[in-house]
Structure 1
Amino acid sequence: MTTDIKEIMTRLKSHRLWIETIGEQGKKLGIDEIDLRNVDLSQYPLDQAYITACIFDGMELNHKDFSSSLLSSSTFISTNLEEADFCKSTVSYADFTNANLKAARLADSECIETVFVQADLSNTNLVAALFDETDFRNAIFKNADVRLATFERVLLKGAKLTGLRGLEEAFIKSINIGTPEEPDILVGEEAIEWLQEFI
């Protein structure tokens, strides 16, 4: 699907107006399969939007607000997202490979089959988030807060878990310390014990 930048800017302005007027004017943003790498998003809010299967790879989006947005299947490969806000957003099937998510907020977010391979999740707020079959291989979790977060069948091979906080309050159902092809699943208490060894 090709949508020119002019049209995207019009939609972004309309979404900004929709947020500023609490839905009285403008229109909620809904875009699908759009490459946003050449679009200057600095002046536009991206919260409460539908942004599916879009490309944000390599962009500078530090402090960007994506809260309460649907971002399924979008890609953020090698994107700078320091202190970005994904609170209450749906990022299932999204790809954050090698992304910088330091101090980002993913509280209450839904991450089903989301890819965080080699992502830097240092100091992130992952409180009450849902991680199901999420790929965290070689990700950095230094001082991340996982209170009330649910982890089920998540891939953790090579992940750096130093200083992980709130583990005793998290719901660790199962973790995969192997690979997708050759899984090595640890369940419940066994999974928690494995995690505690690395903190």
Structure 2
Amino acid sequence: MAGHEVRNVQETWHPAPRADGAGHAGPATAAGRWRDMSDSELIGIRVEQSMLDRLHELHDHFIRGVRHGRKIIMRRCDLSGLDLDGMTLAHAEMLGCNFTGASLRRTNLSCAQLLAATFTHADLTGANLERAGLRAASFDDADLTGARLTGADLRDCAIYDEEKNEIGSTIPSSFRGALLRDTVLAHSKVKRAIFDGASLIGADLRNADLRATSFTGAELVGVDLSGTRMADADLRGAMVTGTVVAGADLVNAQISDPVPVSDVWLRARLHEHRLWIMSGGHKGARADLSGLDLTRHDLSGAILAAAVLDEAMLVEADLSGAILAAASLRRANLLRANLRGADLRGVDLMSANMRAVDMTGAKTGQLPGTALNTLLRKAV
């Protein structure tokens, strides 16, 4: 691959220079840059649907060995929002390309080179990405239901910074908030990838390399992790149900073990916390519900201001109308929780799983009389 080198056993991508000498500026228009498909490489342009359709036709000819076929080779091109459904793009080179919001249902991208590509909010239902090069790729909030990524390379990658003329920071592949229902990642290289807040339901990750991978606040239901390498993986706040871990290497993995609580115990803690709030800290005790399993608990209208619920499991919990001002819910799992009308001013939700949360009518922002603001950094 042109412009590709390996440094410190880590792949480094050097984006090809723009033909107009503009460096790494945004995508140019196609006019004057794309001449009757004679260019061997497309760099930094906005690809329109008609152009894509023609490129696909030529690439399909290339794959099938038909005369005058041409392999797709793109760098930093914008394909956002386009329709790639059912296209055969196997072995294509589309480095650093933007597929945000695109439809790639049943698209064949097997063995394609998609280094640092962006698939945010894309629909990849049933797509074939087997053995694809996907280092530093982003699938945040994408739908990968039934997609096949067997043997794909999803490791992190350092990107060359043209402006500074130096290797930039290492970028991991990311699946934040993505839907991976019945997705196949068996035998894939996913070291240091991020699955925070993702839903992995019935996914197949057998024998995958998941070392140092983050699953913070993720939903792992019926996932097959047998034979995986998960040393140093982070599963804090993850909801793990019916998952197969036979033969998995979990050395130094951080795994939450949420503590179940009874309704009687919880009511007593809430009563003590209410006294603590009403007395200005002179009576009762501050509620510390960190790491507890509060799945589907009814906490509607509860006074939880300044309470600590870090890494708590609040999946499908009812917190409607609850007062959570200045509370700490770092890395809490709020998957499908009901927060309608809740007071979230000054709440710390850093790295919390907010997927499918109902916040209709909730109060957010700065808590009056304090410098505290609702903190959603890294929340998914």
Shorter-normalised TM-score: what interval?
0.7 to 0.9
- Residue 92 of structure 1 deviates from its aligned partner by 1.1
Instruction: Tell me what 1:18 maps to.
Output: 62
Instruction: Tell me what 1:189 maps to.
Output: 251
Instruction: Tell me what 1:163 maps to.
Output: 222
On the 8 A contact 2:97/2:116 being kept in 1, the answer is yes
Aligned pairs (5 A) from 1:1-199: 1-2=27-28, 4=30, 5=48, 8-21=52-65, 25-37=68-80, 39-42=82-85, 44-112=87-155, 113-165=172-224, 167-177=225-235, 188-191=250-253, 194=255
On the 8 A contact 2:81/2:103 being kept in 1, the answer is no
> Does 1 or 2 have the higher relative contact order (CA < 8 Å, sep 6+)?
1
- Residue 93 of structure 1 deviates from its aligned partner by 1.0
Code of the aligned partner of 1:172 = M
Listed as ranges, the gaps of 5+ residues in structure 1 are 179-186
Distance 1:161 1:55, change over 3 A: same
For the residues of structure 2 that align with 1:28 and 1:196, how far apart are their CA atoms?
Answer: 50
On the 8 A contact 1:13/1:44 being kept in 2, the answer is no
Distance 1:83 1:39, change over 3 A: closer
Query: RMSD of the TM alignment (CA)?
Result: 2.4
- Residue 169 of structure 1 deviates from its aligned partner by 1.5
For the residues of structure 2 that align with 1:89 and 1:170, how far apart are their CA atoms?
Answer: 19
Aligned length in residues = 186
For the residues of structure 2 that align with 1:141 and 1:40, how far apart are their CA atoms?
Answer: 25
On the 8 A contact 1:150/1:173 being kept in 2, the answer is no
Tell me the secondary structure at the aligned position of residue 153 of structure 1.
coil
On the 8 A contact 2:179/2:199 being kept in 1, the answer is yes
For the residues of structure 2 that align with 1:130 and 1:57, how far apart are their CA atoms?
Answer: 23
Code of the aligned partner of 2:255 = W
Larger fraction in helix: 1
Taking structure 2 as the reference length, the TM-score comes to: 0.45
Tell me the secondary structure at the aligned position of residue 226 of structure 2.
helix
For the residues of structure 2 that align with 1:195 and 1:110, how far apart are their CA atoms?
Answer: 28
Please list the CA deviations of residues 83-103 of structure 1 after superposition, one character each: whole Å capped at 9, or x if unmatched: 111100011111111000011
**Runs of 4+, deviation exceeding 2 Å:** 1-13, 37-44, 187-191, 193-197
On the 8 A contact 1:71/1:89 being kept in 2, the answer is yes
Listed as ranges, the gaps of 5+ residues in structure 2 are 1-26, 31-47, 156-171, 237-248, 259-380
For the residues of structure 1 that align with 2:54 and 2:106, how far apart are their CA atoms?
Answer: 23
On the 8 A contact 1:55/1:76 being kept in 2, the answer is yes
- Residue 131 of structure 1 deviates from its aligned partner by 0.7
Please list the CA deviations of residues 159-191 of structure 1 after superposition, one character each: whole Å capped at 9, or x if unmatched: 1111111x232122221346xxxxxxxx83352
- Residue 20 of structure 1 deviates from its aligned partner by 1.9
